[in-house]
Amino acid sequence: MEQRILGLDPGFAILGFGAITCNQNSTQPQENSVKMLDFGVIRTSADTEMGQRLCTLYDDLHTLVGDIRPNLVAIEKLFFYRMANTILVAQARGVIMLVLAQHQLPYVEFTPAQIKQALTGYGNADKHEVQAAVGRELDLDEIPRPDDAADALAVALTAWYQL
């Protein structure tokens, strides 16, 4: 059975996305497969008014969900490190949650440590180790850029491992 998983790395200036298709064969698990479908980022400009930036995230994410038609969305949980940035990311997450609710899409959330553990076997792995694991798992010639897109693919793969 084919599943499409959309991974999201939430951000206000840059929202990373990565979509994968997964085929699960319960009678022959060795035939399970995963492929990259798409990846990229939604960008908002710092010189644009905040409300308009949220509208851009909303419109672009709405279009993306319509194009990808995921069965499941996987989101990286909010990580607190700087209060000002955390508030902006939380606002972007609100937009994400609204779009998912409008499309009636189920979602799962993972902490950065859970994603690192799932992909590398080590919860404190560095970004390069995680990105290398994404490349290996999806049989890619090079790591997707920018980093936010590769991170979103890592989130999607984490959800695939949980199915």
Task: Examine residue 10 and say whether the peptide bond preceding it is cis (omega within 30 degrees of 0).
Answer: no
> Which position among 31, 59, 67, 76 bears the catalytic label?
76
Q: From CA 126, how far away is CA 134, in angstroms rounded?
A: 13
Is 9 assigned a catalytic role? yes
Beta bridge partner(s), residue 33 = 23
Name which of 18, 95, 112, 19 is nearest 51 in CA terms: 95
> Which position among 109, 137, 141, 148 bears the catalytic label?
148
The pair of three-digit structure tokens given for residue 14, joined into one six-digit string: 């840059």
> Which position among 2, 9, 49, 139 bears the catalytic label?
9
Question: φ, ψ for residue 154 (rounded to 5)?
Answer: -60, -40
The pair of three-digit structure tokens given for residue 154, joined into one six-digit string: 């890592």
Active-site amino acid positions: 9, 76, 148
